[in-house]
Amino acid sequence: MKLAVLVNEGPYQHQASDSAYQFVTAALRTGHEVMRVFFYHDGVNNGTRLTTPPQDDRHIQKRWSALAQEHNVDLVLCVAACQRRGLVDEGEAKRNSKDATNIAPGFRISGLGQLIEAGVEADRLVTFGD
């Protein structure tokens, strides 16, 4: 089965990101294809490379980055949600005259069209968070 996932909540204030990550890893382990994980609203905060949780806590962003690298999962951050929350990649930094970037490896910024495409192409779109 071809799956797409939508994550609407940030990494530490809600269980949505942990649940989505566990769902995606289980789906991949059982042979399903996960074509895209789209992070929307506060969910884009999962994609900042500046997250530094305590050493005895889980590092959600690193989990997502490793998953993307190991399984070639497309991790997309909504551009409008990123702009509102100060997340920028090289393209957005240049376009908005910012002097730094903060997107974690494996993530990319794009528009809502990526979510629509995932919903159309996937057999199921599974949503985590409000």
CA 109 centroid distance within chain: 9
- Give yes or no: 82 in active site: no
How far is residue 19's CA from residue 128's CA, in Å, rounded to a whole number?
7
State the number of CA atoms in the 13 A half-sphere of 39 facing the CB.
32
Catalytic residue among 4, 60, 78, 115: 78
Q: Which helix (H) or strand (E) holds 93?
A: helix 90-95
How far is residue 12's CA from residue 77's CA, in Å, rounded to a whole number?
17
Tokens 């789209």 belong to residue: 38
CA distances from 23 to 30, 59, 88, 104 (A): 11, 17, 27, 21
Residues with catalytic function: 78
